[in-house]
Structure 1
Amino acid sequence: MPDTETIADAARAVERLRLAEARLARRRQTECGPSETARAATRYIYEKADAGEDVTPTEIAEHLGLSTASVTGILQRLRGGGLITFVRNPDDGRSKRVIPIDRSVDLEDIDPLTAKIRDFAVGLSQREAEHVVRFLEAVTEAVDNECR
């Protein structure tokens, strides 16, 4: 069991991370391209395509925890940027599938921060990685449940 100072250090580190993420989100809205939500949508679309799976706007909305109306706007901007297109869903003519267009785009180019984080994770031992995962999942759940 860690001592109280180590526990306090961990809590302060998470708070610094949350503040840094908030600052990054504000910068991304005004200074450096697509929003974090658009980047997350793009990553999801590309990962699904790489797995050979089709994805619909509704599935993207569910994955991101957003309304379909919000996702529609994001997808229109991604289409305007040449990253995705839509095709009719052969299983349901009322819906469409989202297909990535430019497969030469590397996910690391879309979100280089994710690539850096993955590089950091490579340096963790199996046990350290398991501890980090459990800790961050608990923090994520607490954040997601705040103000509900």
Structure 2
Amino acid sequence: MATSTTHVSLDVEPDVPGDDPVTQLTWAVEELRLAESRLSRRRQTSCGPGHSEREAMRFIAERADAGRPVTPTELATHLGLTTPSVSAIVRRLLDGGLISTRQHADDRRSKLLEPASRNAPDTADALAPSIRAAAADLDPAEAQRLAAFLAHVRDLVDADCRD
């Protein structure tokens, strides 16, 4: 799982076609989406945590932050996966030391899933520290605007091809 921590200067011209900043940004987002897709395919061969593991960690961490630890059944519902598939994901996260389990107080047959540490979502993906370092190169206002833009793009992607 080699990860580059090289800092990229944000003062260089983007490596995308067009002179118009909106066109350049649109191309840059498309290039990012394609790179993420390629990464997802590579990770299917055990190169790192896959999409489902990352999504599971995010959900487990968000629920823990809200004071509502998640059960494997709730995780399966959230991910839209079968119970056996989620059991395999939970096993990999446990084996990687990213989550812990404890008995459900109201249902002794059930267990609750919690992050092993508050930094678990970041440590679930070896790429996260490099992304955090690149984001640290931005001024705070620029980072907020980019975060808002990317959240909007995420919502557009999530809404596409929904039944």
Q: TM-score range by the shorter chain?
A: 0.7 to 0.9
Q: Which amino acid aligns with 2:128?
A: T
Query: Residue in 2 aligned with 1:113?
Result: 127
Query: 2:41 maps to which residue?
Result: 26
- CA 1:65–1:42 in structure 2 vs 1: closer, same or farther (change >3 Å)? closer
DSSP 3-state at the match of 2:49: coil
Residue 94 of structure 2 is aligned to residue 79 of structure 1: yes
Aligned pairs (5 A) from 1:61-100: 61=76, 65-67=79-81, 69=83, 70-81=85-96, 83-99=98-114
What is the rounded CA distance, in whole Å, between the counterparts of 1:81 and 1:26 in structure 2?
21
Q: Secondary structure at the residue paired with 1:112?
A: coil
1:140 matched to which residue of 2?
154
Deviation of 1:122 (Å): 1.3
Q: How many residues align?
A: 142
Encode CA deviations 1:53-91: one digit per residue, 9 max, x unaligned. 6332345456x5434634333113333555545332003
Mean Cα displacement is larger for which, 138-147 or 45-54? 45-54
CA spacing shift, 1:118–1:83, aligned 2, 3 Å: closer
Residue 35 of structure 1 aligns with which residue?
50
Which has the higher mean CA deviation after the structures are superposed, 80-89 or 30-39?
A: 80-89
The whole-number CA distance in structure 2 between the counterparts of 1:59 and 1:129 is: 33
After TM superposition, the structure 1 stretch with the greater mean CA deviation from structure 2, 138-147 or 112-121, is: 112-121
Query: Structure 1 residues 138 and 47 mapped into 2: Cα distance closer, same or farther (>3 Å)?
Result: closer
Instruction: Name the CA distance, whole Å, in 2 between partners of 1:74 and 1:106.
Output: 15
Cα RMSD for the two superposed structures: 3.1
Unaligned runs of 5+ in 2: 1-18
**Identity of aligned pairs, percent?**
45
Does structure 1 residue 14 correspond to structure 2 residue 29?
A: yes
Deviation of 1:93 after TM superposition, in Å, equals: 3.5
Counterparts of 2:97 and 2:26, CA distance in 1? 41
Q: 1:47 to 1:19 in 2, by over 3 A?
A: same
Please state which structure has a larger fraction of its residues in helix.
Answer: 1
2:144 corresponds to which letter in structure 1?
E
CA distance in structure 2 between the partners assigned to 1:92 and 1:106 by the alignment:
26
* Counterpart contact for 1:57–1:68, Cα < 8 Å: no
Q: TM-score w.r.t. structure 2 length?
A: 0.67
Q: Contact 2:54 / 2:121 at 8 angstroms: preserved in 1? A: no
